[in-house]
Amino acid sequence: MDPTPRPLPARVPHRGNSVTLEPLHVRHAPELWQAAQGGGQAATDSWAYLPYGPFADQATLRAQVAGMAAQHDPMAWAVRPHRTGTADGWLTLMEIFPADAAIELGNIWFSPRMQRSRAATEAMFLLMRHAMDELGYRRLTWKCHALNALSRRAAERLGFRYEGTLRQVKVVKGRARDTAWYSILAEEWPDRRDAILAWLDEGNWDQGGRPRTSLAR
């Protein structure tokens, strides 16, 4: 195994076919606030398993964004789907261990209008590819609340393998949290990368914007 420490992620944008990731900045706060307002109960539920949110006002959300934007771990990006042209969510690379070549994709919040979309999948894929192909990490992890069924399905759909559940490892919003762990290793990544690229390919989408094939294994 190559023991060379891997590079840290850089605060640079990443552009895909349906979405652009921009290094998170307080200037994104007004658009993120607007994105969080629509969707009714779905908007409230989108924060259920995160350690922050929902936010009472734009100033509170802006403070959260400012704090995230000032950190290198987690390293956060705002997600701008080309369809809407607005910042509709964020996600991070975190738990970064260059000497061990291990890194996590996490702290993902997508507004209701972005959830379960092609842009959402591509946003996650851009950071997965950045970590594994461009930076050369050998282990990419995904952790979520064990009760978060949507997050667990997303991990499995992207090709992360379930490793186990740590019981009551955290206290989040006053409640004990069991954390489910998933991972993709370097030798598993090429097959998953090719599967996701095939799913994202223009030829896989019909005129109604629906995928012709499923990404689930």
Q: In the chain, what are the domains?
A: 14-204 (3.40.630.30)
Contacts of 62 (CB under 8 A, 6+ apart): 26, 29, 33
pLDDT at 216 over 80: no
Instruction: Give residue 69's pLDDT band: very low, low, confident or very high (50, 70, 90).
Output: very high
pLDDT at 38 over 90: no
pLDDT of residue 186: 98
pLDDT of residue 208: 85
Q: Over the chain, what is the mean pLDDT?
A: 95
Structure confidence by residue, pLDDT tens digits, 10-22: 999 999 999 999 9
Please, are residues 37 and 54 in contact by the beta-carbon 8 Å criterion?
no
* Residue 157 CB neighbour total at 10 angstroms: 16
pLDDT of residue 77: 98
Q: What is the DSSP string of 76-135?
A: EEEEEETTT-S--EEEEEEEEEGGGTEEEEEEEEE-TTTTTSHHHHHHHHHHHHIIIIIS
Instruction: Give residue 217's pLDDT band: very low, low, confident or very high (50, 70, 90).
Output: low
Structure confidence by residue, pLDDT tens digits, 108-145: 999 999 988 999 999 999 999 999 999 999 999 999 99
Q: Cα(106)–Cα(104) distance, rounded to whole angstroms?
A: 6
Percentage of the residues of the chain whose pLDDT score is greater than 90: 90
pLDDT at 207 over 90: no
Query: Which residues are bridge partners to 184 per DSSP?
Result: 140
pLDDT of residue 39: 74
